[in-house]
A and B are shown apart, each in its own frame.
Chain A
Amino acid sequence: MVLGEGHQRFIQTMMIRGIVNEQEAKTLHQHCCEVHKEHYVADKLEEFIQVVNSKLEALNMQIRTRASEDNGMTCYALVNTANNELTRMSSDYADNELELFRRTMDLIMSSDDSTASSTDILNMADSLQTRKLTKSAAECLLKRMVSDNWLVEKQGDYSLSTRCVMDMEPYIRTMYDEEQVKVCAVCHCLAFKYQICANPLCTVKIHNPCAEKYFKKKAVQRCPGCSELWPNKVRAECRQSLSQRQR
């Protein structure tokens, strides 16, 4: 079966944008339908995307939705579903640049707060196996990766962008061991910014927005794993200030 032009335009735009928020996805849906005079129903975005995905999945691609870990807002991204390599990035970055990215990812994955400091990243630049990068070249590269929407920078600390996490989920799940790959107990997606259970023996982690939703309806907030009382927001703030003090 052939996709309609409205669906094709939607895919093309997603290929260029990489990731859009919910409002943008809705506007784009409407735009694509109207341009090609196709039937448009405002609240049928999910069905529209299902049709798109029915074709993309055979090509190892998919439009996936995910709540942003920062604000819980739904994001839509075009992702690779099969590749365990950093395929999508390999056209834009040289071998040594990809190596630095991989090693940045290693740092992020093994850190407690899912970030890597710019100092630590830059210090790896002249020990790359492929080809050394100068500090200034590495700095430029980090900027480029931020503007290309792979990394997010906050006060000198780098973390993986939502788009990156969505696109590289298969890669992350294969490349890192269980201890490093943290998963939200509510939505079962990868977790980078999360709250943890107060019980030191319990490994449950929950995204901030997921926790908000999950505990909202409950009279008493308890860990879904060990039933320990869950101090919600307070805990998150504690955690943050704790990790800041450590640095």
Chain B
Amino acid sequence: MTQRKSSGKRSSTAVGVEEDDSIFTQPTTSQVQKGMEKLTKAQIDEKTTELVQYILMKDQKKIPIKRADIVKNVLKEYKNVFQEIMNRAQQRFEQVFGFKLVEIDAKNHVYILINKLEPVEGSEMISGNPKTGLLFVILSLVYMKGGVVPEGLVWNTLKKMKVDPGERHPEFGDVKKLVTDEFVRQRYLEYTKVPHTEPVKYVFTWGQRAEVEVSKIKILEFLGELHSQDPQHWSQQYKDASSQWSSRAPQPSTSSQRCGLVRSPEPPLGLGPPPRSGAEETRQPLTHLAIVVVEEHTG
């Protein structure tokens, strides 16, 4: 009896704190239970549906989703049962869409969707975004170079492929903005200032989304195929790549299928022309770029 009373007290303070302050305050278990009891199944289902739609919408643009935004835009007065609704949404993503909702930043509570389905040949028919070719090259370059690359090297590599960050590119527009802003916002790349440099220097590393989405093995396989080389030729990278997801189970097959990162040398399935410029045009420069990446940085 006494115990229940005191826990009731505690939860009421917690609510008070929440109202003042942040949405990050974790409600107590009893609060969650209470909150869930107050809601009908229909209400919970409705919120879950809203959340699923919201996340799918954000994911279309590859923008990572902040918990604060979920609470502000979707859950609102349901914030006490945040985790419960998230769990239900997670279930829908896994059971219906073959996606997995992953928290990529546990401190700030940031989420992305990754694809659980294996990328397959013929999937290019659904993507055909030339930007992903560019991204793939930069990720490969950073990876082959040991994980950190000064920006100058990236720009020089791109220039060799006639993609000049200083000029407007017909396909990519403002290349520098695409690479240092869009790819960074999507968490494919990180663009970090090197401390104590004058003039200021920047380096590129893989972003969190790349880490969970892009298969390193696939990068090596792709490069290997172009060079008629066993991927194990790059022994250090191969070792690292093989352990990429070993700590996580089940292995999330990359969503490179979705973002078109892994391009197969096979012609795409005959599903008619994709709405925008298809894989055909992007494959060519991508292949060149990949050759350069390997030649320049692995001997």
Q: Which residues of A contact B (CB under 8 A)?
A: 1-3, 5, 8-9, 11-13, 15-18, 20-21, 23-24, 27-28, 31, 35, 55-56, 58-61, 80, 83, 87-88, 90-92, 147, 149
- CB-nearest residue of chain B relative to A82? B49
Give Cα A80 to B96, complex, Å. 16
- Asked if residues B49 and A59 are in contact (CB atoms below 8 Å), the reply is yes
Residue B58, interface by CB 8 Å = yes
- CB-nearest residue of chain A relative to B91? A2
The interface-forming segment of B162-170, B221-229, B269-277 is B269-277
A-B residue pairs in contact (CB < 8 Å), sample of 8: A2-B95, A12-B99, A12-B258, A15-B56, A17-B126, A28-B271, A31-B269, A147-B276
Q: How far is the CB of A25 from chain B (nearest CB, A)?
A: 10
Q: Map CB proximity to A onto B97-123 as digits: 1 under 8 Å, 0 otherwise.
A: 111000000000000000111101011
Give Cα A5 to B235, complex, Å. 34
- B residues near A59, Cβ cutoff 8 Å: 49, 52-53, 92, 96
Give Cα A90 to B96, complex, Å. 23
- Asked if residues A8 and B117 are in contact (CB atoms below 8 Å), the reply is yes
Q: How far is the CB of A118 from chain B (nearest CB, A)?
A: 21
**Contact A147:B275 (CB < 8 A) given known A3-B96, A91-B57:** yes
Residue B45, interface by CB 8 Å = yes
- Asked if residues A55 and B57 are in contact (CB atoms below 8 Å), the reply is no
- B residues near A3, Cβ cutoff 8 Å: 95-96, 98
Give Cα A61 to B57, complex, Å. 13
- CB-nearest residue of chain B relative to A9? B117
Give Cα A80 to B53, complex, Å. 9
Q: How large is the interface on B (under 10, 10 to 19, 20 to 34, 35 or more residues)?
A: 20 to 34
A-side binding surface: helix, strand, loop or mixed? helix
Residue B80, interface by CB 8 Å = no
Number of A-B contacts defined by CB within 8 Å: 79
Interface centre among A1, A21, A60 (most CB of B within 10 A): A60
- Asked if residues A27 and B270 are in contact (CB atoms below 8 Å), the reply is yes
Residue B196, interface by CB 8 Å = no
What would 14 more interface pairs be, CB under 8 Å, given A1-B95, A91-B61? A2-B94, A2-B95, A5-B117, A9-B117, A12-B99, A13-B126, A17-B275, A21-B272, A23-B272, A31-B122, A55-B95, A59-B53, A87-B53, A91-B58
Give Cα A5 to B98, complex, Å. 7
- CB-nearest residue of chain A relative to B58? A91
A11, A83, A91, A149: which contacts B60 (Cβ < 8 A)? A91
Residue B132, interface by CB 8 Å = no
Residue B127, interface by CB 8 Å = yes
- B residues near A147, Cβ cutoff 8 Å: 275-276
- Asked if residues A87 and B57 are in contact (CB atoms below 8 Å), the reply is yes
- CB-nearest residue of chain A relative to B57? A91
Give Cα A179 to B154, complex, Å. 59
Give Cα A157 to B50, complex, Å. 36
Give Cα A56 to B127, complex, Å. 22
- Asked if residues B97 and A8 are in contact (CB atoms below 8 Å), the reply is yes
**Contact A16:B272 (CB < 8 A) given known A59-B52, A91-B60, A92-B60:** no
- CB-nearest residue of chain A relative to B275? A149
Question: Which 4 A-B pairs give the minimum distances between C-beta atoms?
Answer: A8-B98, A2-B95, A91-B57, A16-B126
Q: How far is the CB of A72 from chain B (nearest CB, A)?
A: 18
Q: Map CB proximity to A onto B35-67 as digits: 1 under 8 Å, 0 otherwise.
A: 000000000010001001100111011000000
Give Cα A73 to B237, complex, Å. 51
B96, B120, B270, B272: which contacts A11 (Cβ < 8 A)? B96
**Contact A35:B120 (CB < 8 A) given known A27-B269, A55-B95:** yes
- A residues near B269, Cβ cutoff 8 Å: 27, 31
- B residues near A8, Cβ cutoff 8 Å: 96-98, 116-117
- CB-nearest residue of chain B relative to A23? B272
Give Cα A2 to B94, complex, Å. 8
- Asked if residues B58 and A60 are in contact (CB atoms below 8 Å), the reply is no
Give Cα A149 to B273, complex, Å. 14
- CB-nearest residue of chain A relative to B257? A12
Give Cα A146 to B57, complex, Å. 20
Q: How far is the CB of B70 from chain A (nearest CB, A)?
A: 14
- B residues near A92, Cβ cutoff 8 Å: 60-61
